[in-house]
């Protein structure tokens, strides 16, 4: 008898919870492609795609998925010499807008990021790789026109680093670094 009562309560609770999810208003333009620059370690030129969700978050805020591909560059100072490394950055995450019923205001974003930087100098070669689970960002999306947006942001990156190869020593890099960026986007 206890099992039946508990099962009935769970089923009714689940049905009630499903009724709380609200659909966002009709979205004519659901995707935004942006190009941008972020200053950090490594700094990057980025191509970012954003796809808006039709369903709202648990608390009624609009949210979207983010996918970024970047060309990164970083400078390391070893023994008084500066060496430049370049590579790729790949990031995937979600963005939640902090003003209800809005797609162009303050937002919070977190993503999973992978970075691969290669050094090919004469006296300094090797690879630097990291992954970041904690990559929070606060920003403001300003919709200049129906199709064009400007998106400044700031945050930090906490990197979990793989052992460097060849001359690359991870002690030359910081694990927690600030990040500031700006993007210009086209919505379609």
Examine residue 136 and state whether it is found in any structural domain, yes or no: yes
Examine residue 101 and state whether it is found in any structural domain, yes or no: yes
Structural domain range at position 85: 22-187
Q: How confident is the model at residue 17 (pLDDT cuts 50, 70, 90)?
A: very low
pLDDT at 6: 47
pTM summary value: 0.76
Q: How confident is the model at residue 103 (pLDDT cuts 50, 70, 90)?
A: confident
For residue 125, the domain's CATH number is 2.40.160.20
Arithmetic mean of pLDDT, 116-122? 89
Q: Calculate what percentage of the chain has a pLDDT beyond 90.
A: 46
Closest CA to 90 of 127, 56, 147, 130: 130
Phi first, then psi: what are they for 62, rounded to 5°?
A: -75, 145
Closest CA to 178 of 128, 137, 141, 127: 137
pLDDT at 2: 57
The domain tally of the chain equals 1
Arithmetic mean of pLDDT, 142-151? 92
Arithmetic mean of pLDDT, 119-123? 87
**pLDDT tens per residue, range 20-36:** 444 545 556 689 999 99
Examine residue 9 and state whether it is found in any structural domain, yes or no: no
Q: Calculate what percentage of the chain has a pLDDT beyond 70.
A: 83
CB atoms < 10 A from the CB of 180, how many? 14
Arithmetic mean of pLDDT, 130-146? 92
Examine residue 52 and state whether it is found in any structural domain, yes or no: yes
Examine residue 138 and state whether it is found in any structural domain, yes or no: yes
Rg (C-alpha) for the chain, rounded Å, is 21
**pLDDT tens per residue, range 81-97:** 899 999 999 999 999 99
pLDDT at 27: 53
**pLDDT tens per residue, range 39-78:** 988 899 999 999 988 777 667 788 899 999 999 999 988 8
Tokens representing 114 are 């992978």
Examine residue 8 and state whether it is found in any structural domain, yes or no: no
């Amino acid at each position: 008898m206890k099992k039946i009562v508990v099962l009935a309560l769970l089923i009714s609770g689940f049905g009630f919870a499903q009724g709380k999810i609200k659909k966002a208003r009709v979205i004519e333009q659901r995707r935004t492609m942006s190009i941008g620059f972020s200053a950090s370690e490594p700094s990057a030129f980025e191509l970012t795609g954003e796809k808006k969700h039709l369903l709202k978050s648990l608390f009624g805020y609009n949210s979207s998925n983010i996918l970024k591909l970047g060309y990164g560059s970083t400078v390391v100072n070893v023994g008084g010499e500066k060496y430049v490394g370049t590579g790729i950055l790949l990031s995937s995450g979600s963005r939640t807008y902090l003003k209800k019923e809005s797609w162009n205001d303050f937002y919070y974003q977190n993503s999973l990021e992978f970075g691969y930087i290669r050094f090919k100098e004469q006296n300094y070669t090797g690879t630097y790789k990291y992954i970041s689970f904690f990559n929070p960002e606060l920003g403001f999306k300003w919709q200049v026109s129906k199709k064009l947006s400007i998106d400044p942001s700031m945050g930090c990156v906490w990197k979990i680093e793989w052992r460097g190869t060849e001359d690359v020593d991870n002690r030359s890099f910081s694990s927690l670094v600030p990040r500031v960026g700006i993007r210009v986007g086209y919505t379609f």
